[in-house]
Amino acid sequence: MAAAPEREGEQVRHPGLGTEALRGMVDYCFNKKGFLTLWSDFFVDNPASGRVMEKCGFRDTGEVNWLSHLYRGDERPVKIMRLDYIL
């Protein structure tokens, strides 16, 4: 995740913040809402997002998709990730 820059053109990183936020969302979806499967994706040119998902238990499905409705989505593929609730 990136926060507001301190200086023009500079990003400030907060290690672990994205993982912590995603873990909270996963917990909410499984334990409060009763979901059995969660799906997510990330642009392949942003592997850090994929690592956050993997840290939270998501696995690469091997599928790739194009999101033409997003900015530059027809130029940048996304990898599809999946996480199943384990009883």
What is the per-residue pLDDT across 10-36, written as a single tens digit (0 to 9) for each? 565 677 899 999 999 999 999 999 999
Q: Give the CATH fold of the 2-84 domain.
A: Aminopeptidase (3.40.630)
| Domain boundaries along the sequence of the chain | 2-84
pLDDT tens-digit profile of 46-78?
A: 999 999 999 999 999 999 999 878 777 788 899
Q: How many CB atoms neighbour CB 82 within 10 A?
A: 16
Q: Is the pTM of this model over 0.85?
A: no
pLDDT confidence bin for 5, thresholds 50/70/90: very low
| Sign of the Cα pseudo-torsion (32, 86, 82, 13, in order) | positive
